Structure 1
Amino acid sequence: MKVLLLAAMLLPAPPVAGPPAAPASAVVHTDHGLVRGTVTGRHRTFQGIPYAAPPVRSLRWRAPQPVVPWSGVRDATKPGAPCAQQPSADPTVVDPREDCLYLNVTTPVARGVRRPVIVWLHGGAFQTGTGSAYDAHRLAEQGGAVVVTINYRLGVFGYFGLPGLPGTGTFGLQDQQAALRWVRANAAAFGGDPHNVTLAGQSAGGLSVCAQLTSPGAAGLFDKAIIQSGSCLTSWPAGLFFGMPAGSQWSNRPAVEDAGTRLAGKLGCGVTSYAATSDGGVGASADPLGCLRATPAADLTAATAGAGQAAFTLPAYGTPVLPRNPADALRAGVFHRLPVLSGSTRDEFRGFLGAVDEWAPYSAQQYTDALTAAFGDQAGRVAARYPVSAYGNRPGLAWAAVATDRMWACPTLAGDRLLARHTAVYGYEFAEQHGPALDATYPWGASHGYELPYLFDGIRWLTGTAQPGLADEMVRVWAGFAATGTPSWPRMSARARTPYVRGLASGATGSVDLAAEHRCDFWATVPDA
């Protein structure tokens, strides 16, 4: 009997029954018109569906506006353009544009029941990426879910602000909410259950999920949350993250508005600057925002390249979208009470530091300097807990372990404990050491983002093949959570000395003591410099 009960727990719950849907078809009627997608043997895909009007010209830096309905059948066999962004090494980002508020839907072919819906928010530090990079056919075919991947405004187009500008610093988050409203209105047409929507994301996408949990405007737009490597409590001390000053993923509104004012002056759009008039002459401009909206997108990305772009990649709080810093909102218990699946990877920071350490290995002096900048007179204590000798005499690996534990693992555990005071939370740690990686010449371990090939195809910046057994398990868990709100392990207890956190790695099962593995008790005693 125990064996049978365990087997039943590991199986995903059946989709929610509902009114019979139409036979599987390449044509679907959305609330703005017909779309024609692609039907394969086991799944359907619909790409490049607009969920908001193009945010260009007078709509730049405005809340997302309704789509204009179309006549006839719209082609949905190829994705829309990625959102305008800084150049990157991501091979999936081709020809980015401001006209980018599109989404993609992947569904099982089999119809007749309402499927759970997963809305996926891509990562990329709020400055790069695209939803079309995530091929979700396994979550549809094996997991029985309808998966929606979206684009949302990035960088200066998504998080710019000026005094008096409605939506300052939150346009990308507003796009996500507009996409969720589209899903509520259209999920049933694709065979999904509009009342069973899970918002999921990784890195900046995970941070977005956490932000939406605290946003009043997201109330009622989704029913469950999956946060991958994106705790609301993520922060860093000075110097630990490539010499950056101390900070977090959130910015207060005055800082964003000040950065916007300085950008306006830099581009000649200050209130005393000059701009081209409609008749081709030159005259004084008393409209900085109008001047900036007339500035070519390429000029905006060029003006915010380099270190300065960080000013417009931090969502702003103290705004209608985020009234409070999301970290403070969690501490106060001010968030939507929804089931949450949350976790991180075992070696998060190797994915950042290793890209340099592989080709120009960090020295012991660089490691010491980073610790001193970050922790001041506590640097020696940190070095004693993370000696270079424990990491194959590679200072870069010791540095990555410090940053992983201080910036990712322990804040994730702390954030999950805060959530668990008020709602059901299920913790995990992705710990696979031999999966797809950037290359085979560096010990990447379970770096930031390395769980993605186990859920999606199309992750072209990693090479290698995900272990099929672990990939099947993760698809089953993610889709099962979307269906029922419970995975196959116990929920986290906020009061437990060792909260249950499921380890995910090939050939390994059971829980992991996240606090012990990442020295969280120690970090609770180490102040930043």
Structure 2
Amino acid sequence: MKTTMSRKVKLAAALALLPASLLVNQAAASQPAAASGLVVRTDAGQVRGKTTATTEIFNGIPYAAPPVHALRWKPPQAVTPWTGVRDATKLSSVCPQGDNPEAPGGSTNEDCLYLNVTRPAQQTSKPRAVVVWIPGGGFFSGAGSSYEASKMAARGNVVVVTVNYRLGIFGFFGYPGLAASGTYGIQDQQAALRWVQRNARAFGGDPRNVTVAGESAGGMSVCAQLTSPTSTGLFSKAVMQSGSCAFNWADNSQYPGQAADSPWISQSTVQQNGKEWAADNAAKLGCKPGQAVLDCLRAADPAVLVEDTLNFTQVAYGGTAVLPLSPAKAMKAGLFHRVPVLSGNNHDEASAWLTAFNGGVLTDADYPRLVTDMVGAADARKVLKEYPLAKYGSAAAAWTVVTTDRIWSCTQVATDQRAARKVPVYAYEFADKHSPISQPGQGAAHATELPYLFNLGGYELPLTATQKRLSEQMIDYWTAFARTGNPNGPERPHWAPASKKAITGLSLAPTDQGGIKKVNLQTEHHCDFWAGLGD
């Protein structure tokens, strides 16, 4: 079976990137809510939520049946209706995943297909736009419950829905004969979007005005939905943060020993991987002689499956109506839903992975070696000329810029270029180097924009006066886009859509770091160079 070691290295490194603030998520979830008379009728039954000073919140609403026993590795099924009023004041379990800051101790609870709805407390007669948030986490960790959405909902006058979906081996496993191999997590997201179509009006939302949004693996999921025929009509706008259709990585670029790859994998490959994995682990799984393999796998202890969840963290394409083509190929061919797009990265995205390379301590001699390991000797000369060490002051700084541009920024720009041929694209770069979740010296690293949009783990992290203003402007941009398809409005700089030839957008920083200003992302990140490398 294809290597597992690089993915286990990936897990250890990635968990170190998650905001420490998310550690409080479980504590926040365990706090009892005050009794409330706030009741809404969904298509499966009534739910009782809770109120805050600015919002009304409904947590832990099931959008699909628990995918357990015979429903493990099957497309999401309908919820069984309930009688009476269901308590929607507490957060649900996260989906099965290993120990990480969002799920201390991990989780083995497969009964996890729930969503959370936050709406402004202020009443209105006009239906509000709906933002559906898909969390990141490498397709092996994360939860919608980590993103408390009160400030986005209240300030932006939108309904926000945050979603759990199956992860890792539970969401992206494949095996011969499983028609939906490698797509269960993507189908869960679509089931949540269909729930929104059926129930948005009950919460004051407009099912005709839905934006699907996400960050990291959530942004890649948005791309999957943009290119999926089975998501037709489920949303009218898309937001991709630090994740895109063209996302991929080169050899040894995120972690030493890691092979070049992307989030997308052919269904035949994931099925073959699953077949080999099952054969190698039959004894551990408790399979009996003569027992059908899938029967054994569906009866296996989820705690045993979680141990190997990192073997299945790519989304399958081909052989399925969900993703007939890889999202990268579909976007390149123009086969995507014609909806406005808001898309961007963080300025120092790859700095969060620096510690994977000798703990982040690099010498001048390390820099050309790392570049050579990434692109080969012939192209290394070109990269070192384009990114001379002397320009950046240290090997660590130079390597961060190279890998940010190659892995993150230019793959996002490539997706933006393809989308801009057909739809409005609003490109950005988050550039606040002192986010409350930034690590020392890492600047505007991966995920550091999130506390400007959400209360992570249910807590509002401290922002300076200028950062708070940036947060307000970002929420205003994002929610204006959700309402109208155009992020512009009063009291913030104009944001022009990118052209088909040059991906220009906004650099988002507080006023004491230069403020919000226009930036040519294609030029800043040397994207024409990377597009031509190897020619």
Distance 2:500 2:37 in 1: 46
Give the AA of the match of 1:491: P
Q: Does 1:176 align with 2:189?
A: yes
Q: 2:227 aligns with which of 214, 226, 244?
A: 214
Cα contact 1:61–1:160 (8 A) shared by 2: yes
Superposed displacement of residue 380, structure 1? 2.3
Superposed displacement of residue 429, structure 1? 1.1
Q: Does 1:525 align with 2:532?
A: yes
State TM-score, norm by structure 2: 0.87
Task: Answer with 518-527 or 476-485: which moved more.
Answer: 518-527
Distance 1:317 1:512 in 2: 34
Superposed displacement of residue 91, structure 1? 5.5
Match of 2:496 in 1: 490
Q: Does 1:40 align with 2:52?
A: yes
Counterparts of residues 103-182 of structure 1 (less than 5 Å): 103-111=115-123, 112-182=125-195
Superposed displacement of residue 446, structure 1? 1.0
Superposed displacement of residue 378, structure 1? 1.4
Superposed displacement of residue 284, structure 1? 1.9
Provide, for residues 408-467 of structure 1, a one-character-per-residue CA deviation record: whole Å limited to 9, x for no partner.
11111111010011111111111112222344xx21111111111100012589975361
Provide, for residues 72-112 of structure 1, a one-character-per-residue CA deviation record: whole Å limited to 9, x for no partner.
11111111100001222336786452110000000001122
Give aligned pairs, total: 485
Match of 2:520 in 1: 513
Give the AA of the match of 2:506: R
Q: Does 1:455 align with 2:450?
A: no
Match of 1:14 in 2: none
Cα contact 1:413–1:514 (8 A) shared by 2: yes
Q: 1:443 aligns with which of 411, 435, 441?
A: 441
Cα contact 1:438–1:463 (8 A) shared by 2: no
Give the AA of the match of 2:500: A
Superposed displacement of residue 227, structure 1? 0.6
Cα contact 1:200–1:226 (8 A) shared by 2: yes
Superposed displacement of residue 392, structure 1? 3.1
Match of 2:19 in 1: none
Counterparts of residues 347-362 of structure 1 (less than 5 Å): 347-354=348-355, 361-362=361-362
Distance 1:194 1:391 in 2: 49
Superposed displacement of residue 156, structure 1? 0.4
Counterparts of residues 8-407 of structure 1 (less than 5 Å): 26-90=38-102, 95-111=107-123, 112-243=125-256, 244-268=258-282, 275-276=287-288, 283-285=289-291, 287-304=292-309, 309=310, 311-318=311-318, 319-354=320-355, 361-376=361-376, 377-393=378-394, 395-407=395-407
Give the AA of the match of 1:327: A
Task: Answer with 124-133 or 396-405: which moved more.
Answer: 396-405
Give the AA of the match of 1:437: I
Give the AA of the match of 1:443: G
Give the AA of the match of 1:353: L
Give the AA of the match of 1:479: T
Cα contact 1:354–1:396 (8 A) shared by 2: no
Task: Answer with 409-418 or 117-126: which moved more.
Answer: 409-418
Cα contact 1:92–1:130 (8 A) shared by 2: no
Cα contact 1:316–1:322 (8 A) shared by 2: yes
Cα contact 2:47–2:58 (8 A) shared by 1: yes
Query: Using a 3 Å threshold, how does the CA distance of structure 1 residues 192 and 92 change in structure 2: closer, same or farther?
Result: farther
Alignment RMSD (CA, Å): 2.2
* DSSP-derived class of the 2:533 partner: coil
Match of 2:17 in 1: none
Cα contact 2:387–2:398 (8 A) shared by 1: yes
Cα contact 2:144–2:163 (8 A) shared by 1: yes
Match of 2:414 in 1: 414
Give the AA of the match of 1:453: P
Query: Using a 3 Å threshold, how does the CA distance of structure 1 residues 462 and 34 change in structure 2: closer, same or farther?
Result: closer
Distance 2:458 2:389 in 1: 33
* DSSP-derived class of the 2:324 partner: coil
* DSSP-derived class of the 2:295 partner: helix
Cα contact 2:128–2:205 (8 A) shared by 1: yes
Query: Using a 3 Å threshold, how does the CA distance of structure 1 residues 365 and 55 change in structure 2: closer, same or farther?
Result: farther
Q: Which runs of 5+ in 1 are unaligned?
A: 1-23, 277-282
Provide, for residues 224-243 of structure 1, a one-character-per-residue CA deviation record: whole Å limited to 9, x for no partner.
10111111001111111213
Give the AA of the match of 2:527: C
Distance 2:286 2:99 in 1: 29
Match of 2:504 in 1: 500
Match of 2:481 in 1: 481
Provide, for residues 183-234 of structure 1, a one-character-per-residue CA deviation record: whole Å limited to 9, x for no partner.
0011111111111100000000000001101001000011110111111001
Percent identical: 47
Give the AA of the match of 2:76: P
Cα contact 1:91–1:460 (8 A) shared by 2: no
Give the AA of the match of 1:268: A
Superposed displacement of residue 510, structure 1? 2.7
Query: Using a 3 Å threshold, how does the CA distance of structure 1 residues 368 and 329 change in structure 2: closer, same or farther?
Result: same
Superposed displacement of residue 381, structure 1? 2.3
Cα contact 1:343–1:427 (8 A) shared by 2: yes
Distance 1:333 1:121 in 2: 24
Query: Using a 3 Å threshold, how does the CA distance of structure 1 residues 331 and 171 change in structure 2: closer, same or farther?
Result: same
Give the AA of the match of 1:284: G
Cα contact 2:130–2:160 (8 A) shared by 1: yes
State TM-score, norm by structure 1: 0.88
Cα contact 2:98–2:107 (8 A) shared by 1: no
Give the AA of the match of 1:418: R
